[in-house]
Chain A
Amino acid sequence: MRFRHIFIAATVLLSGNAVAQDFPSGSVNYVIPFNPGGESDITARLQQPYFEKLYNQQLVVAYQPGGGGAVSWSRLNSLKEDGSTMMGINLPHIVVKPEQGDVGFKTDDITAVYWFHYTPDAVVVKADSPYQTLQDLIDDAQSNPKKVIFSGSGKGTANHLAQVNFDKQTGVNTTYVSFKGTSAAVTALLGNMVTAQWGYTTVGKAQGDSVRLLAVAMDNRHPAFPDVPTFKELGIDMVSGAYRGVAVPKGASEETRQQMSDAIAAINNDKMFQQQMIDAGFAMIDVSYGQSMDSFMAEKSSEYISAARSAGIID
């Protein structure tokens, strides 16, 4: 047992006092609930150097994948609450998953402190596709029910809910095939397994000239795609995508929550960072801790739950 005592003494010395005063008091752990190399990981990696430049402290990215994020989120509240740990969170995941069954957490268990960007849903086709406009696709779907086949990432995800919403608003009947992640959905598109993809604006940037975006689900056009219309312009009321943010354990003090929120806000405000994100196809948002967070979560929750219900994913 002596080893244990020495070790405890050593860790206490190393980690410093547990009471948070200056933020951050040491290196910060950033838990990503998905595999390394996924979109959430890449996002964290883009933030990493800016955090380190701002605070001169390390931002350590750690992965705890499993259950489509559920494994991490069900453990969020058992993590250190002293501001040394934050966790990546995703919408619609944290709203839809707990409704699908017992996944070990409820949406209310998650203390979101910031939403920093989203990847807007977009209809992606191959460069040699006969569809030049979204109307071409809708016409085809109208005369050939079910035969316009979309690939997308997962079920109950932003892509899937977008497909359901799109079908409902345009009155067509398309087929949605779920793939394990966006990369696999892109591969299916490029390999002609499907006619189109419910992807994101980021796919348009990553694939460049080999694909074409027909419409994006944003309020205004994406600065990186000035020629691609929004769904709204085409008369379809759709602003949606996969949102990313960070959360802290429930026990974190108001002060810690605010500090964490401010830290992410500071990264989001960096001009170079913004340019990097837009170039990669992301769309920036700023939902910080407090009143605006509460109303954002309330609005998104009801929106996703009703969409998931009409998609038949939840009862």
Chain B
Amino acid sequence: MLDFILSAASPFNIVLALLGVTAGTIIGSIPGLTATMAVAVLVPLTFTMPTDSALILMGAIYTGAIYGGAYAAILLNTPGTPSAIATTFDGFPMAKSGKGDLAVSVACLSSVFGGLIGALALLFLAPPLAKAALAFGSTEYFWLAVFGLSLIAGLSDGDFIKGLIGACFGILLAMIGVSEVSAEVRYTFGSTTLIGGVEIVSALIGLYCIPVLIDLVATPDRHLNVKQNTADFRLKEAFSIFRFNKLNAVRSSIIGTFVGALPGAGGSIAGLIAYSEAQRTNKAAPKFGTGNPGGIVATESANNATVGGGFIPTLVLGIPGTPPDAVILGALLVQGVRTGPTLFTDSASVVYTFIFGLLLATLLMLPTGLLIGRYAYKAIVKAPKAALVPLVAFMTVIGSFAIRNNISDSIIMIVLGVIGWIASKRGFSASPIVLGLILGRIAEEGFVQSWTIGDAMGNLSGQFFGRPISMVIIGLTLVSVLYPFMPYLKTLLLPRVFPAVLPTSESKADGFKVGFDLFGIAIMGAVGLIFYVQSNDLNVDAAVFPRTIATAMLVLVALAFLKTLTTKQVVDTPIKGSLVRMLSVPVVMLIAAFLIPTIGFIGATTMMGLVLIIPAQHDQYSTKHKLVLIGSVAFVIVACCLLFTQLLGVALP
């Protein structure tokens, strides 16, 4: 073992680990640049390297990217990678209230901790965990997705029905395009733009980031509050938060390791499940979702634990645990290394050197992560709005483009952003839609496969409900769904012991507002109806799942109608600030996206950035200030474009 530790800690490998973690953190912090891409960019570099060094470099950049995703989640409410979705839930509220730097430090500690647990599991428990992961079949993935969806119960602040409608909407969005299980073209309405479907990362960027941008330009208020001007990392506070959440961190890391080892799941699901469990067991104030650092601890330790966890099936079975692992597996094949059952004995030196290298890279993430995090925080806090808005808008366009080299994705991103913004004003928050979008595909695949198998064996109910692991997941799902309603249930079942918890008497809305709320619900109903009708022309494999969801959506819409009519309580988020400024953001972005094919990517996005300065600017600037602003926005955009083309190999049109 000592040999392997020594060879992992050779100067060359240490430099690689440091470079990898640093580059990964930066790439991961940019929404649209995922860990998969970060690893893929590196592959050609690894051809000429010894196998263990190549693995260490790729492992380091992978683990860095998963952590880097937290920055944008905390500071911009936009997950840098899908793994960081649940980081936004508490990270952004913390940043809003002046604790952004603390949130970043907590994320760093949690990521390092989770990464170490994942890597240690890879070192000591790989073969048994790989075996356990294989016990998860199609049916279990279906129920796991349903379990993930049950998180909505806790997420959607009281209005559970609207949360479920949002989830159905997200699932139906995921059905657009060529179906994975049946190869049929669905719900494209004749548009070639939609053939590729709604790409998850670009949808995430749109649903989370565009509303932030729109709200940013509306008022002159600061993007993030800064309570005190701290010079340090607030490490002491971060450590005490982490100590307080130590159980949470251990549990989340274990969840992350195991979910990472499941070849059909991945970091986003691991983070969501860990978050859901942490939320359920949390007793400390403030509430989860309003800025409790425990939410960050849970998500970030779980998603970094998936790195080590994902390598388990990759190395033991030759089956990639997560999408970046698939790329690494390919690079190993080029190197002539056979992964699989014999790897741990035949190529022990490669494997163990790599695992120690991964541990080393994870440890190095502590200093580099804190430093880069500090820098990212300062940049976002200090940037004037008039520079922040154009640059973030640019990042959303290039990020959503780069993920599939496809400008349709940028357009879909902007449109979804506007839909998400409007929907959130009517009480349909973005997270249930995102959850539906991510989990919808996994659920459908598992559902259709289980259906086919159950039907062939003549035992449908046994297939869905009779498998032991499925039964456990169904039980967990029920607990998770019912938990938020516990106070009401207790009253219902044992009225003497638990007196009724009276809902806080909210003032009833007037007729106009109720009408507006009903209109919002009716639009969701129309979406459900369109998808239902469109399902009629599809073959049974392609239609069964979306039709079921559309039906459920229609039922929920009817319930929401009844609820609004009887209680007269509506969500009505007032729109603050100038509507013209707000609307100009998506309009300018859309025009730029449509201009890209004719005037080129750099031209169109630079123009977009410069035009967006106007609505984003609230203060009076001197001419000199204005010139500096224009110059720096244009410079950053052109520099970023060149970076993408030259360094990351993204061909911009």
Contact = CB atoms under 8 A, between A and B. Distances in A.
Is chain B a partner of chain A in the same complex? yes
A51 B651 CA distance: 20
B602 A71 contact: no
Given A149-B453, A154-B183, A63 B192 contact: no
A7 B264 contact: no
Contacts of A62: 405, 649-651
A191 B336 CA distance: 27
B17 to A, nearest CB: 22
B138 A188 contact: yes
Interface string B291-322: 00000000000000000000001000111100
B405 A313 contact: no
Contacts of B192: 74, 102, 104
Interface string B163-187: 0000000000000011011111100
A280 interface: yes
Contacts of B323: 35-37
Contacts of A276: 336
Interface stretch (B205-213, B324-332, B391-399, B484-492): B324-332
Interface in A25-73: 29, 31, 35-38, 41-42, 45-46, 48-49, 58, 60-68, 70-71
B197 A66 contact: yes
Interface in B331-350: 331, 333-334, 336, 338-342
Which of A7, A36, A210 counts the most chain B CB atoms within 10 A? A36
A313 B178 CA distance: 14
Given A3-B602, A7-B603, A67 B182 contact: no
A49 B44 CA distance: 8
A132 to B, nearest CB: 21
Given A71-B406, A104-B192, A190-B134, A66 B177 contact: yes
A192 B638 CA distance: 53
B432 to A, nearest CB: 24
B137 A45 contact: no
Interface stretch (B35-43, B273-281, B505-513): B35-43
A49 B136 contact: no
Contacts of A238: none
Interface in A264-315: 276, 279-280, 313
A67 B333 CA distance: 26
A129 interface: no
A104 B137 contact: no
A151 to B, nearest CB: 8
A64 B342 contact: no
A45 B330 CA distance: 8
Nearest to B323: A37
A37 B603 contact: no
A42 B323 CA distance: 13
A101 B185 contact: yes
B244 interface: no
Given A37-B320, A206-B340, A276-B336, A70 B183 contact: no
A193 B138 contact: yes
B599 interface: yes
Given A37-B323, A103-B185, A210-B341, A146 B456 contact: yes
Contacts of B178: 67-68, 70, 97, 103
A186 B319 contact: yes
A23 interface: no
Contacts of B634: 3
Interface in B569-618: 599-600, 602-603, 606
A178 interface: yes
A158 to B, nearest CB: 12
Q: How large is the interface on B (under 10, 10 to 19, 20 to 34, 35 or more residues)?
A: 35 or more
Contacts of B326: 35-38, 183
A276 B332 CA distance: 13
A37 B456 contact: no
B135 interface: yes
B180 A180 contact: yes
Contact of A102 (B36, B135, B190, B196): B190
Nearest to B317: A190
A178 B177 contact: no
A181 B137 CA distance: 15
Interface in A1-33: 1, 3-4, 7, 29, 31
B452 interface: yes
Interface residues of A, number: 68
A48 to B, nearest CB: 6
Interface string A155-193: 111000000000000000001011110011011101111
A37 B36 CA distance: 9
B602 A179 contact: no
B331 A45 contact: yes
A64 B195 CA distance: 13
Contacts of B134: 187, 190-192
A209 interface: yes
B453 A175 contact: yes
B404 A191 contact: no
B597 to A, nearest CB: 9
Interface in A201-237: 205-210
A155 B453 contact: no
A194 interface: yes
Interface string B489-518: 000000000000000000000000000000
Contacts of B196: 65-67, 70-71
A37 B449 CA distance: 23
Contacts of A147: 456-457
B215 interface: no
Contacts of A205: 338
Contacts of A190: 134, 317, 319
A237 B625 CA distance: 77
A184 B453 contact: no
B264 A66 contact: no
Contact of A63 (B40, B263, B448): B40
> Which of B323, B336, B453 gathers the greatest number of chain A CB atoms within 10 Å?
B453
B186 to A, nearest CB: 9
Contact of B404 (A49, A64, A187): A64
B52 interface: no
Contacts of B327: 36-37, 41
A71 B195 contact: yes
A100 interface: yes
Contacts of A157: 183
B638 A60 contact: no
Which 4 pairs from chain A and chain B are nearest by CB?
A37-B326, A66-B196, A101-B185, A71-B196
23 contacts: A35-B326, A37-B329, A41-B327, A42-B330, A46-B333, A62-B405, A66-B199, A67-B177, A67-B197, A68-B178, A70-B196, A71-B404, A100-B183, A175-B453, A183-B263, A187-B134, A187-B264, A187-B317, A188-B449, A206-B339, A206-B340, A210-B317, A210-B340
Given A35-B326, A66-B406, A191-B136, 12 more contacts: A36-B39, A37-B325, A37-B330, A41-B40, A70-B178, A71-B404, A100-B184, A102-B185, A179-B445, A190-B134, A207-B318, A209-B341
